[in-house]
Structure 1
Amino acid sequence: KDIERMTNENEIVFVINKKAYRVTNWVKYHPGGPETISNYAGKDATAVFNVFHPEEVAEKKLKNFYIGDVTDAEVDNYTKEFLDLHQEVKKAGMYSTSVFYYIIKFVWVYSLLALSAYLVLGRESYAEHMLGAFVMAWFLQQVAFLGHDSGHNGVSHYRDIDKTIGLFVGPFSSGISIAWWKSNHNTHHVVTNSVDHDPDIQHLPVFCVNHRLFKSLYSYYYKRVMDFDAAAKLLIRVQHYLFYPIMSVARFNLYFQSLNMLFTRDYVERRWAEIVAMFSYFTWFTVLAMQLPTWGETVSFIREYCISCWLL
């Protein structure tokens, strides 16, 4: 009841292993994004915390936010079984990283970028230039997986190293803020497929992926009401036709979301490094596209790149 009362008073409190923690004043500094925590306010976060964090985080950090024991808290069987499975997977070494795999992966992915640049700069035919656009899209799709793994601290398992890798493969190589991605994607993992919490399924007025979205609903991630208005009713009626055309230009929305967060949020870790990296991406991509012999080919290159993103 005390936790429910504090949550209703806009305090961010959660339970881990029958202990209550209040992080209201610290939440904006959370490395995984503030929404990851705020969307779990008032709940038992035992499972998600233990899976997301190494043991030393619990030992060093949690004690700073401890406010008391929760005497009536019970860990349900589902959570117990999930944590048991987590420990089995951990003991089996299945969370370990293959350094050799990532070396090969980096060489392969950035070979695609080099090939795209060669087709644009070193070849003369229109077809080869358009092939360069396809290879560029292929590179950007593949480098996103490296961004995913570094965002989860899954490449080296050392946070500072993976942050640096994420800065390179994220905003510098693909134009997407790794800080924005962490906030969005980690929240998705914490509250997976919750229609009022998970940003990965909150696409009104364009797409609807759950029957509960056939009405206006408050998004705890975006902190606003998602209106099921006339535009939503019209667009959702034909969403099966619109899906692929919209996905061909969806990357530009990711650019907007990244810049919006970097310039409007009170605190963003490595904010200026991310901004510089993003604008470096826009610079090298634009300079490369403008090396083509005509404006028409430059426009075609960007068009084929967008279409290829859809195909891939």
Structure 2
Amino acid sequence: MGVPTTLPTWTRDQVAARILAGDNILILDGKVIRVPNSWLKAHPGGSITIQHFIGRDATDEVEAFHSDDTLRRMQGYAIGSVDVADEGWAPLQPPIHLGWIRKVGDDGVLHWHNEATPEYSSEDTELSPASQILLVKRQDVPSDHGPSLSALQPAPTSLSLKMQAQHSAAYKELHKRIKAAGLYQTRYITGYGPEILRFLLFSVSSYVAYQKHWFFISAFALGALWHQLVFTVHDLGHLAVTHEWAKDRLISILLANWVGGLSVSWWVFTHNIHHVVTNHPSHDPDIQHLPFFANTPVFFKNLYSSYYKRELTFDRFSHYIVLVQHRMFYIVMSLARFNLYRLSYTHLWVTRNEPMKVRGGRWSWWLEFAGLVFWWCWYGRVLRGCGSWQTGLMYLLVSNMVPSPLHVQIVLSHYSRSTADLGPTESFPHRQLRTTTDVVCHPSVAFLHGGLHLQITHHFFPRLPRHNLKEASWLVKQFAKEQGLEYAEFGFFEGNGEVQSTLKGVADQLRIMHMVADAEIKESLQAKRD
């Protein structure tokens, strides 16, 4: 599709009107981009990632996640232009942040549906700023009118639109420097060469130990293989290896599904959303870990998850677990891989009938499904070959618990950081620096972190090959210093202490709430006796 030589200039009110009429409108490099509903469902990164940018300037995020070729093709969906000026685009509140989505009704036509109720902050604190909007109380009410024009206006924020535009402009210059330095070029020999050797080492070790009936060693080596494979699958999911969707997806399915028993498409959908709404209690699935963990007291409110499409119920079981969450942290993390199986299979079941018209049709879904069947065949045979159910259970637990440091690391990168919602005015680099931290480690053990201890730089440039993150991180640190922004980093043990402190702090607040409630009950009973 060709781009018109001249595009009409749109006002903010015109953009809002088209959104209220049901169009998926976002701003990209000064252009008004209309995303067709057919593409929304076929988007490789999931439809929800796009919905979080309706009415907003998505330039930084879109350029961070897409190749130059894809960006050029996106221009074909431009239907207008806007006057961004020095202060940048004055954003609108995406309807999904207000609990509004578009769904096909019984008549086969798209209608607005109110899936949850927005709760606006009644205070202006660091934990609950005036700009914060959380989703509570699950609903599914069809509506002909949808959100109102006034609702699309962002809540008050302490952020300066001009300053956020400055951060955004500086980020664009930083991105140019990253490209000019050749940091998007994959280091196949020096980067992935040593990793392939580790894969072979762990695979052979597991096989030889199994043949000799050294089942514990075999299970440990298999778990170590899964632990290391996840980092490569992570790169492939971000198209950071061959930089071609079909090739990276094919390799990632073979590694994730056929060897690891997990769905790569589930991971891509979840992880991309985590990147664009990092640490938002209502939208980021990577911090929605009830009933086991709550890293902020706002989870006591029975929040609604726009990703899982259900209420995160803070029930009696959650109460008991959260009260001791800091003590149970490592136990739960050691078993976290079993939850990934559940999430993987649920995702494949839910997406079984989706059209997937993009990039080669449904071959990837069927290949994933076949991979999981194959995985259960060979892994089930391994467990049965252990000779007894006790040994098989040991093998099952050890092989799945060894990769647990990965889950701990992911939590370290975000749990102790801000979960406040500063609204759509916040720029991409500002949000990532506020919600993410690095884990400092010695180069000799960096492979245990898979290179993802440099989490801030990864969040800045998700498609950047992992082996180039260290070099790029120096440029990101310089950027943060020049922009007067915090670049958070701490050691592994210090980071664990920070997470433990966060979890204990939330548990203590819950305990205080119980004490206050008990005191009020006693006071009420005493008043009745008197």
TM-score (norm 1): 0.90
| Offset at residue 276 of structure 1 (A) | 0.4
Deviations 1:245-292 (A, max 9, x none): 222222122111111111222425511111001121121111122222
Q: 1:135 to 1:240 in 2, by over 3 A?
A: same
Which letter maps to 1:292? C
Q: 1:3 to 1:252 in 2, by over 3 A?
A: farther
CA contact (8 A) 2:41 2:47 kept: yes
Residue 393 (structure 2) aligns with: 299
CA contact (8 A) 1:245 1:310 kept: no
Provide the C-alpha distance between the structure 2 equivalents of 1:57 and 1:148, rounded to a whole number of angstroms: 20
Alignment RMSD, CA only? 2.1
Q: 1:191 to 1:249 in 2, by over 3 A?
A: same
Provide the C-alpha distance between the structure 1 equivalents of 2:398 and 2:250, rounded to a whole number of angstroms: 31
| Offset at residue 37 of structure 1 (A) | 1.6
Deviations 1:53-73 (A, max 9, x none): 11111212341x323223357
Residue 382 (structure 2) aligns with: 288
| Offset at residue 147 of structure 1 (A) | 0.5
Alignment map for 1:28-177 (pairs within 5 Å): 28-63=41-76, 65-71=77-83, 74=88, 76-100=165-189, 101-121=191-211, 123-124=212-213, 128-177=214-263
| SS of match in other structure, 1:204 | coil
Does residue 262 (structure 1) correspond to residue 351 (structure 2)? The answer is no
Which letter maps to 1:89? I
CA contact (8 A) 2:203 2:221 kept: yes
| SS of match in other structure, 1:93 | coil
| SS of match in other structure, 1:61 | helix
Residue 189 (structure 1) aligns with: 275
Q: Which piece of structure 1 moves more, 33-42 or 80-89?
A: 33-42
Does residue 20 (structure 1) correspond to residue 114 (structure 2)? The answer is no
Which letter maps to 1:169? L
Give the percent of matched residue pairs that are identical in Structure 1 and Structure 2.
Answer: 31
Provide the C-alpha distance between the structure 1 equivalents of 2:203 and 2:391, rounded to a whole number of angstroms: 19
Which letter maps to 2:272? N
CA contact (8 A) 2:227 2:402 kept: no
Provide the C-alpha distance between the structure 2 equivalents of 1:92 and 1:211, rounded to a whole number of angstroms: 43
Structure with more of its chain in strand, by fraction: 2
Q: 1:52 to 1:136 in 2, by over 3 A?
A: same
Provide the C-alpha distance between the structure 1 equivalents of 2:313 and 2:221, rounded to a whole number of angstroms: 39
| Offset at residue 7 of structure 1 (A) | 4.2
Provide the C-alpha distance between the structure 1 equivalents of 2:184 and 2:296, rounded to a whole number of angstroms: 32
Deviations 1:57-99 (A, max 9, x none): 1212341x32322335725111111111111111111221111
Q: 1:154 to 1:311 in 2, by over 3 A?
A: closer
| Offset at residue 153 of structure 1 (A) | 0.9
Deviations 1:11-57 (A, max 9, x none): 43221112222223311111122222223333211100011111111
CA contact (8 A) 1:39 1:197 kept: no
Q: 1:217 to 1:294 in 2, by over 3 A?
A: closer
| SS of match in other structure, 1:89 | helix
Structure with more of its chain in helix, by fraction: 1
Q: 1:227 to 1:156 in 2, by over 3 A?
A: same
Does residue 276 (structure 1) correspond to residue 289 (structure 2)? The answer is no
Which letter maps to 1:28? K
CA contact (8 A) 2:337 2:401 kept: no
Does residue 230 (structure 1) correspond to residue 324 (structure 2)? The answer is no
Q: 1:263 to 1:105 in 2, by over 3 A?
A: same
Provide the C-alpha distance between the structure 1 equivalents of 2:367 and 2:265, rounded to a whole number of angstroms: 11
| Offset at residue 214 of structure 1 (A) | 3.1
List runs of 5+ in structure 2 lacking aligned partners.
Answer: 1-12, 90-164, 357-361, 407-530
List runs of 5+ in structure 1 lacking aligned partners.
Answer: none
Provide the C-alpha distance between the structure 2 equivalents of 1:115 and 1:36, rounded to a whole number of angstroms: 41
Provide the C-alpha distance between the structure 2 equivalents of 1:259 and 1:10, rounded to a whole number of angstroms: 32
Which letter maps to 1:305? S
Deviations 1:131-152 (A, max 9, x none): 1111111111110001001111
Provide the C-alpha distance between the structure 2 equivalents of 1:182 and 1:262, rounded to a whole number of angstroms: 12
Which letter maps to 1:13? I
TM-score (norm 2): 0.55
| Offset at residue 9 of structure 1 (A) | 5.5
CA contact (8 A) 2:215 2:395 kept: yes
| SS of match in other structure, 2:386 | coil
Provide the C-alpha distance between the structure 2 equivalents of 1:34 and 1:235, rounded to a whole number of angstroms: 33
| SS of match in other structure, 1:13 | strand
| Offset at residue 8 of structure 1 (A) | 4.9
